[in-house]
Amino acid sequence: MNSALMLFGQFVGRWEAEAQAFLPDGSVRKHYWQIRFEWALENRAIQDVWITPPRDGPNVGKSERWGPFDNQYGTTIRVYDPKLDAWRATWIDPCAGYRAELIGRLKDGEIFQEGTGSDGTQLRWIYSDITPNSFRWRAELSRDGGSTWFKAIQLLAKRAKERADMYDHIGLRVKDLKTAVRFYQTTLHPLGYMLDDSGTGFGPKGQPALWLHAGGKPGGGTHVAFRAGDRATVDRFHAAGLKAGGRDNGKPGVRSDYSPNYYAAFLVDPDGNNVEAVCLE
């Protein structure tokens, strides 16, 4: 995978954010967001959805009212443009009837996005203090051609707690480490899991939970189930695994004998292990 895609790929997952809105009259309002980033367009793009006030979770009912933005949600589609060595981003807010076009790239350790809103306002949207489980974001705007800039919103986002994993970690012994790494790197990419710096561990960024070890025998019968956020992700997992050399061991679909909403797909990896992606919603 092109490492440039991980500039925004690192955010894939669910986030909860506490924010401040700086209003034109000088007042400040505290409010909260739910944010979700996902791969899109066959992993060539990143789409996110931002919602305030939260519809569920620990911050429901905590947001202060702040005028026309008491209820706001929108989505961004970001696509990496190799000719620019930058990301083209389009933000759409159906509540306010607002749209923005921005160009984003890494600058002095921050992800710096610049562009223009549909009302002609110049925009700077900036990600900073980025860690595997948190980031800061601020929105700045100018209405005089960039002579003066005003901070409109700042927030601190923290990665939302996911449902508990069924395992702490899994180790698989494989007969060909290079082949196995290539298979899992391709197959787990749609689920948002990545290869860590060791070259043999996979999981969320900074949290590998699956480890591969040389010296295995084919057909060992190991079964690994990975959680997926939705049914479309299960479908992508299955398709990616087939392209990467896996064998079909159960096409995507509901397994009602497990539970009414058990949607899963199964593959046999190059070493004969049974691997699964499952969504329970």
CB 13 within 8 A of CB 160: yes
Q: Domain boundary at 129, 159, 189, which? A: 159
CB 181 within 8 A of CB 191: no
Q: Domain boundary at 159, 191, 218, which? A: 159
* Residue 177 in domain: yes
Range of the domain at 78: 3-159
CATH number at residue 144: 2.40.128.20
**In this model, does residue 85 exceed pLDDT 80?**
yes
Q: Do 141 and 210 fall within a single domain?
A: no
Q: Do 234 and 273 fall within a single domain?
A: yes
**In this model, does residue 72 exceed pLDDT 90?**
no
Tell me if the bond preceding 68 is cis, omega within 30° of 0.
no
Amino acid code (one letter) for 191: L
| pLDDT tens digit sequence for 102-120 | 999 999 889 999 999 999 9
Per cent of the chain over pLDDT 90 is: 48
Give residue 44's pLDDT.
84
The rounded distance, in Å, linking the Cα atoms of 201 and 208 is: 5
The rounded distance, in Å, linking the Cα atoms of 113 and 87 is: 9
Q: Do 140 and 227 fall within a single domain?
A: no
**In this model, does residue 179 exceed pLDDT 70?**
yes
Give residue 278's pLDDT.
87
Domains contained in the chain, number? 2
**In this model, does residue 167 exceed pLDDT 70?**
no
Burial class (CB in 10 A: 0-12, 13-18, 19+), 44: exposed
Q: Do 7 and 133 fall within a single domain?
A: yes
Q: Do 55 and 76 fall within a single domain?
A: yes
Q: Do 144 and 75 fall within a single domain?
A: yes
Q: Do 95 and 53 fall within a single domain?
A: yes
The rounded distance, in Å, linking the Cα atoms of 8 and 80 is: 9
* Residue 25 in domain: yes
Q: Do 203 and 230 fall within a single domain?
A: yes
| pLDDT tens digit sequence for 28-55 | 888 889 999 998 887 889 999 999 888 7
Q: Do 207 and 155 fall within a single domain?
A: no
* Residue 165 in domain: no
Amino acid code (one letter) for 176: D
Q: Do 103 and 174 fall within a single domain?
A: no
Per cent of the chain over pLDDT 70 is: 90
The angle at the Cα of 152, spanning 146 to 156, to the nearest 5 degrees, equals: 125
Q: Do 145 and 248 fall within a single domain?
A: no
Strands 210-214, 170-174: pairing is parallel
CB 200 within 8 A of CB 211: yes
